[in-house]
Chain A
Amino acid sequence: MDVFVITFVRLLFFFTKNLIGCFNTPYLTYRKLLGEKSGIYQTGFIFILVISYFIFASALRVGVHSPLLLTLRLNLLLFSAAIGFIAMLFVIFMLGKTIGSSGRFIDVYKLWSFTLIPTIVWFFTTSLLYIIIPPPRTLSFLGKLFSVVFIAFSVSVFLWKAILYYLTLRFALRLDLAKIGFMTVVILPLLVVYSVLMYKLGIFRVPFI
């Protein structure tokens, strides 16, 4: 029991350090993460955050008065996000192997899991803003100001995600810029198809990738 607690606290410490590192210095953090043996166990904390977010989002959307609907919504979100995550992992790894990558699947999994951090940040922030300042926005000065700030925040988080995506391909698959560009050109249409499918099914309006 003591060993379990010590290991848990140790992993939580390293995870927090890497979380802050992904925010401040993603390049150095991703380089170090590749060599860290405990990196794979730290991904457990990311999935705990994902599950926490989905519980929060389900309660916000459906309400807590109907446990059945809440459970259905939560399971739908978890299942769809898991399918998207696993599909993305396999697409990245198999495509990387096809174009001559020498990376390992475990490295792709480790680094791609940490790219969920900007996703969680954006979704959590948007959910909180939905409660604090519910839409729609008006054309008043404050409405326009908030719109500009919110879109700038969304673009910043998107750029953060793009940087982590690039670093995943660079370090996990050891690809150069040309091959990363080629992979992006192939992956983007698949992402669009996934996003449209999730939107049409009413699961995610913005894809949780």
Chain B
Amino acid sequence: MDNDKTYQLLVDKMHEVAAIPTQEVGNFTIAYKKLVPFLKYYPWKSAIILSFISVSLLYLIFGTFLVKVASMLQFGF
């Protein structure tokens, strides 16, 4: 009985894995496979790092215009 349940769990898992085709990006597949696990398993670390880097860059480029953007966004709701 337990073997049937285990077998069924294994079959279900194999179906789950096989349902979505694997991702291929041509010549960039190796780089893609290195980058994506970071986004998959640490999404917030990636999001926070990326957002602070991008906002710091935007501040260096646009300067105090970002303050106006923040004010506009605060009215955005």
Q: Which residues of A contact B (CB under 8 A)?
A: 23-27, 31, 35, 57, 60, 123, 126-127, 129-130, 134-139, 143-144, 146-148, 150-156, 159-160, 163, 170-171, 174, 176-178, 205-206
Q: Are A156 and B75 neighbours in the complex by a CB distance under 8 Å?
A: no
Query: Is B27 interfacial (CB 8 A cutoff)?
Result: no
Distance A84 CA – B59 CA, assembled complex (angstroms): 33
Kindly name the residue among B24, B40, B76 whose own CB sees the greatest number of chain A CB atoms within 10 A.
B76
Tell which of B20, B51, B54, B74 touches A135, judged by Cβ atoms closer than 8 Å.
Answer: B74
Task: Give chain B nearest CB distance to A175 CB in angstroms.
Answer: 9
Q: Which residues of A contact B54 (CB under 8 A)?
A: 155
Q: Which residues of B contact A (CB under 8 A)?
A: 16, 19-21, 23-25, 32, 39-41, 43-44, 46-48, 50-52, 54-56, 58-59, 64, 66-71, 73-77
Q: Are A148 and B55 neighbours in the complex by a CB distance under 8 Å?
A: yes
Distance A205 CA – B41 CA, assembled complex (angstroms): 33
Smallest CB gap from A207: residue in B: B76
Task: Give chain A nearest CB distance to B25 CB in angstroms.
Answer: 6
Tell which of B39, B52, B68 touches A163, judged by Cβ atoms closer than 8 Å.
Answer: B39
Q: Are A126 and B39 neighbours in the complex by a CB distance under 8 Å?
A: no
Given known contacts A139-B64, A147-B66, A174-B20, A129 and B74 CB-to-CB distance under 8 angstroms: yes
Q: Are B76 and A151 neighbours in the complex by a CB distance under 8 Å?
A: no
Tell which of B41, B44, B55, B70 touches A23, judged by Cβ atoms closer than 8 Å.
Answer: B44
Q: Which residues of B contact A60 (CB under 8 A)?
A: 77
